[in-house]
Amino acid sequence: MSDPENPVPVIRVEGLTKRFDRVTAVDSIDFTVDAGSTTALLGGNGAGKTMTLAVLLGLLIPSAGTVRVFGEDMVRDRHRVLGRMNFSSPYVDLPRRLSVRENLTVYAHLYGLNDPAGRIRTLARELEINEFLNRPFGDLSAGQQTRVALAKALLNEPDLLLLDEPTASLDPDTGDWVRAYLEAFRARAGATILLASHNMAEVEHLADRVLMMRTGKIVDRGAPADLIERYGRRTMEEVFLDIARNRGGASTEAAQ
């Protein structure tokens, strides 16, 4: 039985390591993500963000350590929780010859939705993709594809949403609109969001907590405002540059 005064984190990662031959992509990291929160996973290219998301999704098996989502071990028992999760990335294509409607219908059936057509109508209206529902996915602009990928990720109204660069390829106005939508979805559904992003303004706007990665390790963590104060900077972008370029700052241990 769960203890309401000490709730189990939605995500608990302990000693997570992922190696490929002699390359250590993720190096013994530990973190938790609380229910209903938005946590940002930040770092330069090759820092280990996307690899960490892949392990959380059960797409990769850890070389060492444990990953628990909703209390379940993602190596042995991920089938118990995958239906409560979803993922979106503009870098993962949907079938390009299928129309947007056909793509969403296929995924709706894979997720076991009772009323796929109704759910697609709702998302098409909310995400403003009605005008190209019947166009092949491959004919869409990058920004339109990003919105469709987000619609796919929201079909099952996930309790945990993992996002890799959720507003990539979107113009500033549409990106701001999508961020507002995600924030409203999290508040309405009580969902938990873990996102990897290079958009520091997005992180300041959305994230309750930030995990800063460099060369496979978490090197600092904290609320955006706390990190900005700790590094004596004005924005998260300046903090990001300090950490990415290893200019010093508080240690991981000091930030926990």
Whole-angstrom Cα Rg for the chain: 18
The reply to whether 224 falls in a domain is yes
Task: Quickly count helices (H) and strands (E) in the chain.
Answer: 9, 10
Residue 34, sorted as left (phi over 0), alpha (psi -120 to 50) or beta, turns out to be beta
Average pLDDT, the chain: 91
pTM over 0.85: yes
Distance CA 111, CA 105 (A): 10
Q: Is residue 6 part of a domain?
A: no
Q: Is residue 81 part of a domain?
A: yes
Q: pLDDT per residue over 29-75, tens digit each?
A: 999 999 999 999 999 888 999 999 999 999 999 999 999 999 999 99
Residue 239 domain-assigned? Answer: yes
At 190, the pLDDT band (50, 70, 90 cuts) reads very high
Predicted pLDDT at 248: 57
Q: Which of 78-87, 100-109, 199-208 has the lowest mean pLDDT?
A: 199-208
Sorted by sequence, the CB contacts under 8 Å of residue 75 that are 6+ apart come out as 58, 61, 62, 66, 67
Query: Mind giving me the DSSP string for 69-138?
Result: ETTEETTT-GGGTGGGEEEE-TTSPPPSSSBHHHHHHHHHHHTT-S-HHHHHHHHHHHTT-GGGTTSBGG
Phi, psi at residue 242, to the nearest 5°? Answer: -60, -45
- Element (DSSP H or E) covering residue 13: strand 11-20
Separation in Å, CA 225 to CA 3, 34, 221, 253: 30, 18, 11, 18
Classify residue 140: in a domain, yes or no.
Answer: no
Instruction: Report pLDDT for 167.
Output: 87
Q: Note the pLDDT of residue 254.
A: 42
Q: Is residue 42 part of a domain?
A: yes
Q: Per-residue pLDDT for 255 more than 50?
A: no
* CATH number, position 198: 3.40.50.300
d(CA 27, CA 187): 33
> Where in the sequence is the domain holding 178, given as residue range(s)?
11-92+159-255
**What pLDDT score was predicted for residue 210?**
97
Counting the structural domains of the chain, the total is 1
Q: Is residue 138 part of a domain?
A: no
The verdict on residue 49 lying in a domain is yes
Per-residue model confidence as pLDDT tens digits over 4-14: 555 789 999 99
